[in-house]
Amino acid sequence: MIKADLTGVPETALWTLYHRATEAARPDTVLPDPRAVRLVTELDFPFRERLGAARPWVAQAVALRALAFDQVVRAFLATHPDGTVIALGEGLETQFWRVDNGRARWVTVDLSDPLELRGRVLPHGARQRLVACDVRDSRWTAGVDAARGVLVTAQGLLMYLQPAQVTRLIATCADAFPGGTLAFDSVSRRFATRTRAGAKGPGGHRLPPMPWGMDAHERDRLRGAHPAVGDVVDVPLPAGRGLLGYLAPRLASLPLLRGDRPLVTRLSFRADAAPHRPPRPARRAAPDAPH
Ligand SMILES: C[S@@+](CC[C@H](N)C(=O)[O-])C[C@H]1O[C@@H](n2cnc3c(N)ncnc32)[C@H](O)[C@@H]1O
């Protein structure tokens, strides 16, 4: 057993792992992931006491989000089989082992404590690199092999940044990886506001405050982050099991949830964009400045 001693925002990596593994352990799972199932049993961490019970619908929702990212990565690797995937805030995600094509390069970026834990509990091969860096510091872009295409993913990360930091991160990616792609998820403004008021999650544990939220209609404002931002595309959640699984890909057409729902977004960066200009102020580029 390996002790997992994470707190605060890094602890959320254990929350997402716990939920994906709970879903993956079902015989009718939407996300087969034996490595995640095993990893949970190998970690010395009181999952249930610290994070509450993993409710089946939350576990499936977290797994469907992971599956949406898997589909983005698989589509990228289909056109760039030797490309580089950079997983920002990757925590204990086991996505590499779900999607690897045997050729891709994979860079994991996270804060030093979660990264150190990841290095101890998951086996990293020659095509994988671990980079301990705060994503608010653009040094994580150094040394990335971008020659065969780059996909940057940020699953469960950007909501923990300030709006201006989200804008800067998008601009950093656009500058560093012309022709590249960034895929990330976001929570709604209302959800982010609730976390800042101390809301608890469905398992009863307090959610870390989320400074950034974005409603669906605000998505196009992301173009203001950098002139190279081209396509801004909605990535629907895949279909899953039961009512939740039926509704997941249809959330955009449900009147009550159309604007107020979690989003997965894919941004493309043009290779031929105008020379860099500094990002515009956060309020215009990344929605939701906390009041
Ligand atoms: C909710 S977890 C998501 C982990 C993983 N992507 C997943 O979906 O399971 C958030 C992750 O972001 C990392 N993180 C938060 N703020 C960060 C920052 N400023 N720089 C780098 N990583 C950060 C945390 O350490 C944690 O691993």
Hey, which of 11, 12, 62 would you mutate to test ligand 1's pocket, going by the most ligand atoms within 8 Å of its Cβ? 12
Answer yes or no: is the C-beta of 160 below 6 A from any ligand 1 atom. Answer: yes
Give the distance (Å) from ligand 1 centre to CA of residue 156.
7
pLDDT tens over the chain, length 291 residues: 999 989 899 999 999 999 999 999 999 999 999 999 999 999 999 999 988 889 999 999 999 999 999 999 999 999 999 999 999 999 999 999 999 999 999 999 999 999 999 999 999 999 999 999 999 999 999 999 899 999 999 999 999 999 999 999 999 999 999 999 999 999 999 999 999 988 887 777 788 999 999 999 999 999 999 999 999 999 999 999 999 999 999 988 887 777 788 999 999 999 987 655 555 554 454 555 433
- Nearest ligand 1 atom to the CA of 13 is 2
- Nearest ligand 1 atom to the CA of 16 is 9
Q: Which of these, 134, 162, 196, 156, lies nearest to 285 by C-alpha position?
A: 162
Answer yes or no: is the C-beta of 157 below 6 A from any ligand 1 atom. Answer: yes
Going by alpha carbons, the residue nearest to atom 6 of ligand 1 is: 90
Pairing of strands 229-234, 263-269: antiparallel
Task: Give the span between the Cα atoms of 51 and 203, in whole angstroms.
Answer: 7
Answer yes or no: is the C-beta of 162 below 6 A from any ligand 1 atom. Answer: no
Task: Give the span between the Cα atoms of 150 and 178, in whole angstroms.
Answer: 9
What is the secondary structure of 206-237 as a DSSP string?
Answer: BPPP------GGGGGGGGGG-TTEEEEEE-PP
Note whether residue 290 is domain-resident.
no
Q: What is the count of structural domains for the chain?
A: 1
Contact 167, 225 (CB under 8 A): yes
Note whether residue 91 is domain-resident.
yes
Structural domain containing residue 156? 64-285
Note whether residue 36 is domain-resident.
no
Answer yes or no: is the C-beta of 11 below 6 A from any ligand 1 atom. Answer: no
Q: Where are the beta strands (DSSP E) in 127-189?
A: 128-132, 150-154, 181-186
Answer yes or no: is the C-beta of 110 below 6 A from any ligand 1 atom. Answer: yes
Residue 286: the pLDDT is 53
Going by alpha carbons, the residue nearest to atom 12 of ligand 1 is: 89
Residue 289: the pLDDT is 41
Answer yes or no: is the C-beta of 89 below 6 A from any ligand 1 atom. Answer: yes
Residue 257: the pLDDT is 72
Note whether residue 69 is domain-resident.
yes
Q: What angle do CA 283, 289, 186 make, to 5 degrees?
A: 100
Note whether residue 70 is domain-resident.
yes
Contact 287, 221 (CB under 8 A): yes
Answer yes or no: is the C-beta of 155 below 6 A from any ligand 1 atom. Answer: yes
Give the distance (Å) from ligand 1 centre to CA of residue 38.
21
Note whether residue 271 is domain-resident.
yes
Note whether residue 25 is domain-resident.
no
Task: Give the span between the Cα atoms of 267 and 269, in whole angstroms.
Answer: 7
Answer yes or no: is the C-beta of 16 below 6 A from any ligand 1 atom. Answer: yes
**CATH number of the domain residue 184 falls in:** 3.40.50.150
Answer yes or no: is the C-beta of 184 below 6 A from any ligand 1 atom. Answer: no
Report the Cα–Cα distance between both ends of the chain, in Å, rounded: 44
Note whether residue 14 is domain-resident.
no
